[in-house]
Amino acid sequence: MRPGGATGPECRPIPGGIILPGLAGGGISLRRRAAGWLLLLMLGPAAGVWARPLEGPPPGLAELLPAPRVEAAGAVLAEAVSGQILALQDPDESRPPASLAKLMTLRLAWQALTRGEIEPGELVIVSENAWRTPGSRMFIEVGERVSVADLLRGIAIASGNDAAVALAERLAGTEEAFVARMNAEAARLGLADTRFADSHGLAGTEAGAATTALDVARLAVQYLRDHPQSLELHSTRRVTYGLSPGGIPITQENRNRLLWRYEGVDGLKTGFIAEAGYHLVATAEREGMRLVAVILGAPSEAAREAQAATLLDYGFANFTLLDVGRQLEPHGLARVWRGKENWVRVAPDDITRVTVPRRQAGMVEVDVHPREHLFAPVRRGQAVADAVIRLDGMELRRIVLRAEEDVERGGWWKMATDTLRFFWLRFTRRLEPLPGEGTTPAVAEVAAGRQSGLGRDRHWVTS
């Protein structure tokens, strides 16, 4: 339901989900059935994940896994390891981002730290502009020197608007210049329905600020994949910084109350302005599966927490993360014609995990789709085949198998004999059978927690 009581469409489950743009996280490799499989044909590039549209569930799936309706303007449930969306409700409903804008501010800050442009212990001088920023505050003072690490804590834990402006000014000179960077990064990530107007999220529709639950999910998952160490901050329940007029240290609690109330929750961010309603991005990890629940425009703090918990419950109860590559050899062999070598090793260009409904986990299959014969020269990274993971005939994800090494053209004799042999075999229809052509059942295993790659690095900051 939307705020005000209007009933929205049922949250739509998408088993196996849709690849979040830029976040493809599953894949397969070729199984060796005998002394190596021979790949003779080449598939073109797989469809770009950014261009793949969101699709509704196939017939009968809504009855199999009915997703709960939530009291929010928009909602998305995604799995971050595989990069798949599991449920949608009004995902394109536009709202000002409120403090969810700070996820982009933090993303740019982590990028700057990674590039060495700033250091955690670097001291930032607080401007009057930052000090005067209204709303939630870290309580930094004009002229005070605050470390980058403390500013990150102030943004992630206390949701300090003043800290966001101070960090933005340090990174770009002015907040306006920083906002331009935020919007450029949003465009790079494909967040077509998102526009930022400030570094902290106080701006509303009149200022042009806007986002959607789907864009927030994309940003949150990319943020977690690129900067998993940020969970050390987002999971912290309280932060102490500054002194009250009476000289008492100021301690503020994280506004994400699910950190106390939901098993496994270790992030991510809350947001609120009157025009937008109450937002929450909640993330939790269990058994290696990391879910991200996005709630936009809930009517209250309690409602956003309850609705996020409802989506997380649905995800953990009904889906599981499988590694379909465990029972498939990570390397295959592709036949190369006219090359110095007759074979090239190929491997998937992505990880091999996929999120599927628990009840249908045993129905996962692997399709290998070659397209044309492979002739030298072959370059490392060249697409050799396209592997598709299917669930009961429904495509879950598509992974490109790529050459792991270069193969140069052979000498004139090798090229001549290979050409004659190729055309003779083709003419007589005696070319070797394509390995893996057709459907190969994949024995899927539940991914171990250590495989998720989204754990926390507890040593990123200095005091």
Catalytic residue positions? 99, 102, 159
- CA 108 to CA 111: how far, in whole Å? 5
Closest C-alpha to 307, from 355, 358, 262, 260: 262
Q: Within a 10 A sphere around the Cβ of 131, how many other Cβ atoms?
A: 17
**Are 310 and 284 in contact, with CB atoms under 8 Å apart?**
no
Please give the C-alpha separations between residue 388 and each of 43, 47, 355, 368, 370, in angstroms, as whole numbers. Answer: 12, 11, 14, 6, 11
Classify 138 as helix, strand or coil. Answer: coil
Classify 167 as helix, strand or coil. Answer: helix
- 256 Cβ neighbours under 8 A, 6+ residues apart: 234, 265, 267, 268, 269, 270, 280, 282
Structure tokens at 157: 């834990």
Sheet order of strands, 84-89 included:
12-13, 84-89, 74-79, 289-298, 277-286, 265-273
Closest C-alpha to 76, from 200, 191, 199, 239: 191
Number of H helices, E strands in the chain: 11, 22
Structure tokens at 396: 């879950």
R_g over Cα of the chain: 25
Report the residue count for the chain. 463
